[in-house]
Amino acid sequence: MHWREIIRRPLITEKSNIMASEQNQYTFVVDSRANKRLVKQAVELAWPEVVVEKVRIANMPAKRARRWRRTTVRKPGWKKAIVTLAPGTSIDLFEGV
């Protein structure tokens, strides 16, 4: 798989911004078939100047919500990867903005 297929998008939340600034950890939404080794290779190919120290992966569960009276909506599950970089390296997620 190409690295653009593995890394879907960065996950930008208040918690992920704090983790990026204080602990040098970045959060991405990744393909459901990706494993730690593929995520590490994809991040190092996407940003050649960074060195990945550690990758943690979490499966986020599907959710059900009830709308109106009888209609239920189901959001599919997805996979999240938290990537820890070596000290002194960082990723600029908002280049040219």
Would you say residue 88 has pLDDT above 80? yes
- What's the mean per-residue pLDDT of the chain? 90
DSSP result, 44-84: HHHSTT--EEEEEEEEEPPEEEEETTTEEEEEPPEEEEEEE
CB atoms within 10 A of CB 28: 24
Domains of the chain: total: 1
Rounded to an integer, the average pLDDT of 44-71 is 89
User: Is there a domain that residue 36 lies in?
Assistant: yes
Q: What is this structure's pTM?
A: 0.85
* Residue range(s) defining the domain that contains residue 75: 3-85
Would you say residue 73 has pLDDT above 60? yes
User: Is there a domain that residue 90 lies in?
Assistant: no
21 to 34, 38, 82: CA distances (angstroms) = 26, 24, 14
Would you say residue 72 has pLDDT above 90? no
Q: How far is it, in rounded angstroms, from Cα 79 to Cα 59?
A: 5
User: Is there a domain that residue 97 lies in?
Assistant: no
User: Is there a domain that residue 29 lies in?
Assistant: yes
User: Is there a domain that residue 91 lies in?
Assistant: no
CATH of the domain at 23: 3.30.70.330
